[in-house]
Amino acid sequence: DGGITQSPKYLFRKEGQNVTLSCEQNLNHDAMYWYRQDPGQGLRLIYYSQIVNDFQKGDIAEGYSVSREKKESFPLTVTSAQKNPTAFYLCASSTLRGRRNEQFFGPGTRLTVL
């Protein structure tokens, strides 16, 4: 099955701790994205990557970090510097070839800071 997976589905963190959210895709997509969604809100872009070992900040990158060591993987670390990390985090991927650039989304990780 081709797709994009995120783990864990639910994550609890104590204040002051860093936590890493996993995102893996086997769609051979070049681009990967991390979004944050707050209740009743749209998606806000945290980071995106179009190629291995390269990534760019989105609108709300502060307090987050990413890496892209493999094409298939784009983990997101929520650091203790993120003031309000409780949210639903969505990872997505898309191809950069041709003119179709719809995004394929993972099932999301719900992070709660205790």
Q: Which residues bind another protein (CB under 8 A)?
A: 6, 31, 33, 35, 40-45, 48, 50, 56, 58-59, 88, 90, 92, 99-108, 110
Q: State which residue, 63 or 108, has the beta carbon closest to another protein.
A: 108
Q: Which residues pair with 73 in a beta bridge?
A: 24, 70
- Which structure tokens are listed for 99? 């003119």
To another protein, the closest distance from the beta carbon of 50 in angstroms equals 6
Q: State which residue, 14 or 25, has the beta carbon closest to another protein.
A: 25
In whole angstroms, give the CA distance from residue 103 to residue 32: 9
Contacts 24+ apart (CB under 8 A), 42-48: 43/90, 46/76, 47/76
Q: State which residue, 75 or 80, has the beta carbon closest to another protein.
A: 75
